[in-house]
Amino acid sequence: MPFTLPTLREIRARVRDDVTSRLPGADAAVPNSNLRVISEANAGLALEAHAYLQWLGRQMLPDTAEAEWLERHANIWLRRGRKAATFASGTVTMTGTAGTAIPAGTQLLFGSYLYETVAPATLGSGPTAIDVEAITAGGAASLEVGGSLRLRSAIAGVASSAVVTAAELGIDEESDDDLRARVLDRIRKPPMGGDADDYVAWALEVPGVTRAWCAPLEMGVGTVTVRFMMDDLRAEDDGFPGAGDLDTVAAHLDEVRPVAVKDLFVVAPIAEPIDLTIASLVTDSAAVRAAIAASIADMLARRAAPGQTIYHSWVSEAISAATGEDHHVLTFADHVMPTAGHLAVPGVITYA
């Protein structure tokens, strides 16, 4: 039978009764008595011990473990543990007296975040492009194109501000929820020497990769095709990876995949917008429409896959799940993907 954690009131009563039973003639229930104070102090310690044991019990299994305990499960089950945060970087243009040297490691401030130049540079006659990298890892330090940085310490002949012309976002440390999902997936789908699930797991080891799919034989006998998304890192591109991301994932897969595979193709999915029309919406308001858009986007993030048909019932269910929606009429036919590489993404929602 399940164990129920006793309340502080229940523990106090137990301790007072126990003390009274063991000391003939004593009464631990008398307010402000020494026995009452000792009993209640011990009850507080017992409650804390119960709570710790309850918490410890949750850490024993990966589906409820958290923080460093979850990392221990990850280190046991996965080839690698939690995906570490990465450092944001970018390119800035600096101006000043031509010929002025800017040493590597020169520090600039972006708000409260420090950046350093990654290599020595010499100013030209106009704005000079210089690569910089954040000192603090994570997405919060990411630059914004068009933004500005300022020198932490002045350099003679160099303007104090720099303009951001290119930015590579940093990635936050993998969350407990994402790490837990990978650990549970590893337990439920043990390695099979290079089957489709293995390729998905390997792709998800790369920082920034949030979803991945594998299609054996799609490009011919002996081939493996891997597609993936980077929903957070490439949010400005709707999560679709760029050429550099494809190279990074391909390089990682080449390190771990079986040598017997004839050809490995790492490619980006092709966006397939899902347009639909909603009529007779109750309640029709800006907030409800925003909730519907968010619910449909969440549904596609969970259910869409390369080549996966998006069904009318899925879309209608997502609309009904939106906060504030009471009923609606949906005009939408099951949307079949044009090719095995097309991935459904939110399109235009028309309200009639």
| Per-residue CA distances from 7 to 18, 51, 155, 259, 337 (Å) | 17, 10, 65, 59, 56
Residue 75 lies in a domain: no
What pLDDT is stored for residue 166 in this prediction? 96
Q: What per-residue string of b and e applies to 288-307 under the rule 16 or more CB within 10 Å gives b?
A: bbebbeebbeebbbeebbbb
What pLDDT is stored for residue 285 in this prediction? 97
**Are 263 and 194 members of one domain?**
yes
Residue with tokens 């991301």: 245
What pLDDT is stored for residue 261 in this prediction? 85
**Dihedral, 328, 333, 339, 341 alpha carbons, nearest 10:** 10
Residue 176 lies in a domain: no
Output the domain CATH number for residue 198.
3.30.300
Residue 112 lies in a domain: yes
Residue with tokens 């050809």: 263
**Are 53 and 94 members of one domain?**
no
What pLDDT is stored for residue 4 in this prediction? 83
**Are 278 and 333 members of one domain?**
yes
The number of folded domains in the chain is 4
Which residues in 146-289 belong to E strands, given as ranges?
Answer: 148-151, 161-168, 211-216, 223-229, 263-267, 270-282
**Are 39 and 100 members of one domain?**
no
What pLDDT is stored for residue 259 in this prediction? 85
Residue 124 lies in a domain: yes
**Are 17 and 32 members of one domain?**
yes
Distance of CA 225 to the CA centre of its chain: 24
**Taking phi first (over 0 means left), then psi (-120 to 50 degrees means alpha), and beta for anything else, what does residue 194 get?**
left
Asked whether the beta carbons of 43 and 11 are under 8 A apart, the reply is: yes
Task: Count the neighbouring beta carbons within 10 Å of the beta carbon of residue 272.
Answer: 21
Residue 94 lies in a domain: yes
Rounded distance between C-alpha atoms, residue 137 and residue 82, angstroms: 15
What pLDDT is stored for residue 79 in this prediction? 77
| Domain residue limits at 202 | 189-267
Average pLDDT for consecutive 10-residue bins of the chain (352 residues)? 85 92 89 92 94 94 96 92 95 97 97 97 96 96 96 96 96 96 96 94 96 96 96 94 97 92 94 98 97 98 98 98 98 98 98 96
**Are 238 and 258 members of one domain?**
yes
Comparing CA positions, the residue from 163, 292, 307, 155 lying closest to residue 227 is 307
Residue 71 lies in a domain: no
What pLDDT is stored for residue 1 in this prediction? 65
Residue 79 lies in a domain: no
Residue 227 lies in a domain: yes
Angle at 10 between CA 4 and CA 13, to 5 degrees: 150
